[in-house]
Structure 1
Amino acid sequence: MKIAFYGSSLLSSYWNGAATYYRGLLKALAALGYDITFYEPDVYDRQKNRDMEAPGWCSVVVYEPTPQALMQVTARAPDADIVVKASGVGFEDEALLLEALRHARPDALTIFWDVDAPATLAQLGDEPDHPLHRALRKLDLVLTYGGGDPVVYAYRAMGARHCIPVYNALDPDTHHPVEPDRRFACDLAFLGNRLPDREKRVEEFFLAPAARLPASRFLIGGSGWDDKPMSPNVRWIGHVGTRDHNAFNVTPKAVLNISRDSMASNGFSPATRVFEAAGAGACLISDAWLGIDHFLKPDEEILAARDGQDVIDILADLTDDRARAVGEAALRRVLADHTYSHRAALADEIFRRFAKRSPVEAAA
């Protein structure tokens, strides 16, 4: 079956947290025989900051951020058996959704794939005239990469026919153990861009503990932190490309995951970084959120912190041997249960269950 996927960017992770998800899932779907074309706009300097070239398992069409180009790429939707519009594309999202739906064949499976469901649902709640309200009744499926039952129930209440989570996961070919790199040596590292709905949690779970532990070394990567006040024992290194994520995760004694406000409040929303870190065998400390035990077992495969004091207490008791044991347990778990091959098998089952034509007809 052919998939037309309209998303933010496959080729660049720059200001694009969904890149890892797209890459892992679409690569695994291609291995199952899907013929995929990914359409991404040239926005936010992403094409100037590519960290991969067009892969052999997926065709990529980069288009200019103009109404004419948008019309050209959506006019190709009839070529596909499955038409996907992702959230947060970054250029005329509403128009892109409506045009993709307008051009999709009547027998095509139409999907809104939400890579930030809590934020989308909050926007829909604030904007009763948002075009997505009307589109939900036309779409066959809403798929999300997190959120669990709260998100499913919210989407169903807003008119979605079906809403199914297809969670983040690990691509073991991309994220795996490597040799440590002294550039990233520290006691605790955090990687994430500076965003309004995460900044206070970064202050609570990372910056405040760092200020209270002057003898420990802390490392923060990601864009936007250059003018943020930090204690002298915190080192900011700017944007960290995906090629360095394995070393960034495996080198520190521990790495920290901090969810955005909406993700933490909804629960069941593990960030891609959770699986990246676990796949590298890192000792992962995460802010606590509902559903964390669905993915990794607290105290054995992940260390959960309710607040900054918990982070301090965890670091005080964390020996090198303990950190290594937690990281090794996390790696075993994600390889067993949480790879993109697992997620692609679920997506394939969903596509076949809701397909309007049989797989044999679609392949003809």
Structure 2
Amino acid sequence: MSLDIVIIGLALSSSWGNGHATTYRALLRGLAAEGHRTLFLERDVPWYAENRDLPAPDFCRLELYGAISDLTGRWAERIRRADAVIVGSYVPEGREVIDAVAALRPRLLAFYDIDTPVTMGLLDEGRDEFLAARQVPLFDLYFSFSGGEVLDHLEQARGARAARALYCSVDPEHYQPLPGEPRWDLGYLGTYSPDRQPTLEALLLEPARRLPDRRFVVAGPSYPADIDWPANVERIEHLAPADHAAFYSRQRFTLNVTRAAMIRMGWSPSVRLFEAAACATPVISDHWRGLDELLPDGEAILIARGPEDVVRALTDLGDEARLALGRAAQRRVLARHTGRARARDLAEALHRQARAAA
């Protein structure tokens, strides 16, 4: 049965400095392909207004709002009559948005946490600008982009009524191998994060120093000016999603680096991991619990614990074995982690919860 869904999320129109936009785009395209209707409400903020790479999506209705009063005024009736309303993590004034939307008494209220380990850390610190601890039990469903043990933690320690894993996903129409010879031996795509930087230093910058004849690249905004980039590391300030597939396809290997909070919690695959795999680009990743369940080490991914592992992969692994690694990851991701597969997961969970509440 077709669903009418309202999502209040961080960003859909702009991928600038966030991974939410591409996650939502894959999911909402999947929902449209499955016959569901979605309204996405995004806060109109200047940093996204200046960098909108998808101002008018053709797979959902996108509307910008200027204040919470717009949600409780202009969009109140739409929120009330939707089959499900989903509030996302990191929404500006998220705590106040949740209270305002809950007061409208939607038929089914859910939360989609695309930052679960970070959210749990903020709650531990008493920081509740995006979600308050008292609000976790308000949701009929708490969708988490992290799986594994955190789902038990959400229900048993945080009071979630029903916690369900909803991993990030990829749109295979937009992420697929493109022809062309490799330009870089190893690349990385991601916004600067202080807790990711030491791993980037160890697994990309140090190998670049040890292999001065190889070519490396780091794409993403907000890196401090005082980083000592080796001469053979190219920098790209921002790469729009339309250019991601070409970027991955020009790398012999791509690097996946995980935030510290996500490593501690485990089972937290980033959207970049799925995007690179869909392009059949061999992935070198740091280690975290649950990774082997998604992509087995040595079969569909290479796990690196230090620069030596990266140097060994770049210098010792032949092209046949390297390409086989990328194809194995691609098969797994296209079978289980597309936007359409994830849309089915979401719709099934919403239908099941609605039946239980009836």
Instruction: Sort the TM-score into its range (normalised by shorter chain).
Output: over 0.9
What is the Cα deviation at residue 350 of structure 1?
Answer: 0.6
- 2:317 alignment counterpart: 318
What is the Cα deviation at residue 50 of structure 1?
Answer: 1.7
Deviations 1:150-172 (A, max 9, x none): 21122111111111111122211
C-alpha contact 1:2 1:81 (8 A) present in aligned 2: yes
- 1:345 alignment counterpart: 344
Counterpart of 2:116 in structure 1: which amino acid?
A: A
**Is residue 2:202 matched to residue 1:200?**
no
Identity of aligned residues (%): 37
- 1:10 alignment counterpart: 12
- 1:63 alignment counterpart: 65
What is the Cα deviation at residue 233 of structure 1?
Answer: 1.2
Counterpart-to-counterpart distance in 1, 2:348 and 2:190: 33
C-alpha contact 2:215 2:233 (8 A) present in aligned 1: yes
**Is residue 2:301 matched to residue 1:299?**
no
SS at match of 1:190: strand
C-alpha contact 1:74 1:103 (8 A) present in aligned 2: no
Counterpart-to-counterpart distance in 2, 1:311 and 1:26: 36
CA RMSD of aligned residues (A): 2.0
- 1:222 alignment counterpart: 220
Counterpart-to-counterpart distance in 2, 1:175 and 1:230: 29
- 1:273 alignment counterpart: 272
Deviations 1:228-248 (A, max 9, x none): 211111111111111110011
Q: TM-score, normalised by structure 2?
A: 0.92
SS at match of 1:201: helix
Q: Structure 1 residues 329 and 37 mapped into 2: Cα distance closer, same or farther (>3 Å)?
A: same
Counterpart of 2:173 in structure 1: which amino acid?
A: D
C-alpha contact 2:282 2:322 (8 A) present in aligned 1: yes
Counterpart-to-counterpart distance in 2, 1:21 and 1:48: 20
- 2:95 alignment counterpart: 94
Q: TM-score, normalised by structure 1?
A: 0.91
What is the Cα deviation at residue 319 of structure 1?
Answer: 2.4
Which blocks of at least 5 consecutive residues in structure 2 are unaligned? Answer: none
What is the Cα deviation at residue 69 of structure 1?
Answer: 3.5
SS at match of 2:187: strand
- 1:72-221 equivalences under 5 Å are 72=73, 75=76, 76-89=78-91, 91-105=92-106, 108-127=107-126, 132-146=132-146, 148-156=147-155, 157-180=157-180, 185-221=183-219
Q: Structure 1 residues 104 and 173 mapped into 2: Cα distance closer, same or farther (>3 Å)?
A: farther
Counterpart-to-counterpart distance in 1, 2:14 and 2:261: 24
- 1:27 alignment counterpart: 29
- Report the count of equivalent residues: 352
Counterpart-to-counterpart distance in 2, 1:344 and 1:254: 29
Counterpart-to-counterpart distance in 2, 1:194 and 1:159: 33
Counterpart-to-counterpart distance in 2, 1:177 and 1:321: 16
Counterpart-to-counterpart distance in 2, 1:271 and 1:238: 20
Counterpart of 2:201 in structure 1: which amino acid?
A: E
SS at match of 2:132: helix
Q: Which runs of 4+ in 1 moved over 4 A?
A: 128-131
Could you tell which deviates more after superposition, 128-137 or 202-211?
128-137
C-alpha contact 2:34 2:340 (8 A) present in aligned 1: no
Counterpart-to-counterpart distance in 2, 1:14 and 1:84: 22
